[in-house]
Amino acid sequence: MHSFLTTAALVASASLSLAAPANLVGRSAFEVKQVARGHKMRSGPLQMLKTYKKYARVGAVAPSEVVSAAAACQTGEVAADPQLYDQSYLSPVTIGNSELMLDFDTGSADLWCFSTESPAVQSAGHGLYNPSTGTELDGAFWDITYGDQSAASGNVFADKVVVGGVTATKQAIEAATSVSYEFTEDVASDGLLGLAFSSINTILPQPQTTFFDTVRNTLAKAVFTVDLKKGAAGSYTFGYIDSSKYSGAITYVPVNTANGFWQFTADGYSGGGNNASTGRGGVAIADTGTSLLYLPASVAKGYYSGVQGASFDFRQGGYTLPCSATPPDFNVAIGGKTFTVPGSYINYAPLRAGSSTCFGGIQADSGIGFSIFGDVFLKAVYAIFDDSGSSPKLGFAAQA
């Protein structure tokens, strides 16, 4: 799971802020490597529907064809080699005395995990956090629901969290006490570690800080970087920018935090046959928790017009193309610099096991309200999430 939406509820008033800034032990800069972990991958339509639900809190509405296509996916997933489709690269995090495999998500702000308080039937196959090592925050809870009524909820504890050798001793942990089937089916992931801004943390009645905000004052620099890879595990660094991981200059753009996301403005796009998808840019979000690249409908349509055999498939709710196709590269202009997504990244995954038709890695952002630069784009760049100055900024560079 990559992100969740809060539901309204009543709760007794209480002082829920952690009593003091978290005590921190460890290094002022560190790297966290991802680990490949096999699981079953959600189909393209379900990936799209999950994205719409993730951003429903800011007005995203899934088109009817996406809803219908997702509903028609009887199993909801297809077997996948994690190296092939880049779906299961997770990072080890120690919470209390439990080591869990978490998805680092720049599109949400919760540290959510399965726990020993979850019924066994719901938590089977997952690593579990044992909250006996933490201190419960009185009156605090989380209760999250998707538009399809899939849900999870639980209590909140303050406990130590160790990431890459740095320990936050009083980090807010959202420990699941109830999780619906839709959340339990991905047994590869034990939860997520949100890296968006703390303003959208979903703990009620008082939001808590993200891990990054908890440790930021102890880092050599309030920055983290994302170095995702195609077909291989990538890494995150905190507190520094690793010059060995990128080439050329870093291009920075300002971030608008009004919605709690790493939101920026893209200049424009080009790619496809004879630059068929050329178009002006607009508001976009950098989100490691979203698999695909969502762009203006005219840009997506233009791109696939240059791919032989590609079409919009209403049954799938999005663009598909022959798995044997060789899609052209796609160019994104940001801050006056052009970054290229290799065409091979856009041949996302077969519709089902053994299918010769693949779901496209670029899809229209219709109904979302902004573009989302998910992993299809982020695998093509070295990304810097920098909050060390008077206002946050995003940096992009070519991978080394």
Q: Which sequence positions are flagged as catalytic?
A: 105, 287
- 364: Cα within 13 Å, side-chain hemisphere: 22
- Taking the CB of residue 97, how many other CB atoms lie within 10 A of it? 11
For 46, 70, 318, the CA distances from 166, given in Å and listed in that order, are: 36, 40, 42
